[in-house]
Homo-oligomer: A and B are copies of this chain.
Amino acid sequence: MTAGHVFIATSLDGYIARADGGLDWLPGMGEGEDAMPEAEDHGYDAFIAGMDGIVTGGATFRVALGFDPWPYALPVMVVSRAMTEDGVPEGLRGQVRIVRGIADARAATADAGWRHAYIDGGQVITGYLAAGAIADMVITRVPVLLGAGLPLFGALPGDVRLRHLGTTAFPSGLVQSRYAVA
């Protein structure tokens, strides 16, 4: 099976985007003083270099569609019951595939021979956690409370115990912790 890996930023109150998908609160996504010091490396490039592909949710996919250029070099599977392949922009066909649920996604990544998948989007991450399919998570806390939005974590069938691997605090105020699923 493919091992699932999470690398995500959240507000201190656990949101990965505003209710409308907005990411303006992320350092580097805002204007002026909110811009991230360019020198601050949070390890995304090193993380993504070890992945074979990306499994994401419909909401996170739609946010990614808003970026120009398209942010991913890797193949993407979008877990969505509402979307069809017709909803994928022409330029991304072949790179983006729609699957119907977590079980389908896991079967498809295994069939594709992916050893490591970057699991993104709150609902997909929670579904993978519920399935016991996440190996580790890198969670970066942004020092802001949003009060509402799309949550990173949702309901689970039971406790998921984690093992803390390490934490780094950055000059920008971001705090990044790495956990293995126990």
Contacts and interface: CB of A to CB of B under 8 A. Distances in A.
Most buried by B among A14, A148, A160, A164: A164
B175 A167 contact: yes
A158 interface: yes
Contact of A13 (B14, B145, B161): B14
A161 B179 contact: no
B159 A145 contact: yes
Interface stretch (A45-53, A77-85, A100-108, A149-157): A149-157
A23 interface: no
Contacts of A160: 144-145, 147
Given A143-B179, A177-B141, A153 B25 contact: no
Nearest to A177: B175
Contact of A143 (B14, B146, B156, B162): B162
Nearest to A154: B147
A167 to B, nearest CB: 4
Interface of A: 12-14, 25, 129, 139, 141, 143-148, 152-164, 166-167, 169, 173-175, 177, 179
